[in-house]
Structure 1
Amino acid sequence: MIRIDDDELDLDGDLCLYEGHPFTGVSYEPGTEGKLLSEVEYKNGFATGITKRWYPSGQLKEEFSCKRGLRHGESTTWFDNGCIKIKAEYELGIELGYQEWNESGDLVESRELDPESVQANLLKRHREMYADW
């Protein structure tokens, strides 16, 4: 799989292009001392697969999955000390559930998608629109 510096990608709306064509591969953002700041998997120009971001120290900051440019699946964010800050679940870009902790490890926020909400109705439409994905 091709790996390129994300400076080599061009954006055309939501589509990532490499040398004028939709990019398939992995882009990365280098940091200092050879450490990565981010890494994104692409397929046909859209973030598809795992995205990772790191603190400059090298500690993992965030990891989430995408499907055709939309968050899809589990998402985790960490404090720079390595403790979990946020865990969330997405489907086709819609947040299904969310939990957030403070640096002491206390749960400070928790929510789930309300089945009667506008977001739930949007998810139903997304499922129909993107059924072929």
Structure 2
Amino acid sequence: MPDFRAAKKASEVGWYDPEFDRVLIEQSIAKQYGVLPSQQEDLSYSDWYKMVGGLMPDTPLGQVVAIRSEQDRDRLKHFSPAQRRERAEWAAFAAHKKRTPQETENQKQQLASLQAAFASMFKRK
């Protein structure tokens, strides 16, 4: 049995995020288990975590995860604009989430030096 407390390997991809997909998770728990979102606040974290882990593919979250994780090029060609948008939004979120604080700081420094270069090029004499 896998140890869910262990850190994920770099090669493992998560296809949902508890904060990003909060509404989908609430809707999926309501659909599969009949626990309304207003009642979900009373659940212990361990019960909620088990429920999320057991969500089936026919739930709202399951359907979105299927879209995000699709790898078959032929199926991807036939995706609707809404499905393509979902994949693009998730890819942007995942890329932003992967950034390390050092990468963000480096980008800020590069932007500042670029702004300074433009300012010196176009300053009035």
The answer to whether TM tops 0.5 is no
**Which is higher, the Rg of structure 1 or of structure 2?**
2
TM-score bin (small chain): under 0.3
* TM-score in terms of structure 2 length: 0.26
Q: Which has the higher contact order (CA 8 A, sep 6+)?
A: 2
More strand by share: 1
* TM-score in terms of structure 1 length: 0.25
More helix by share: 2
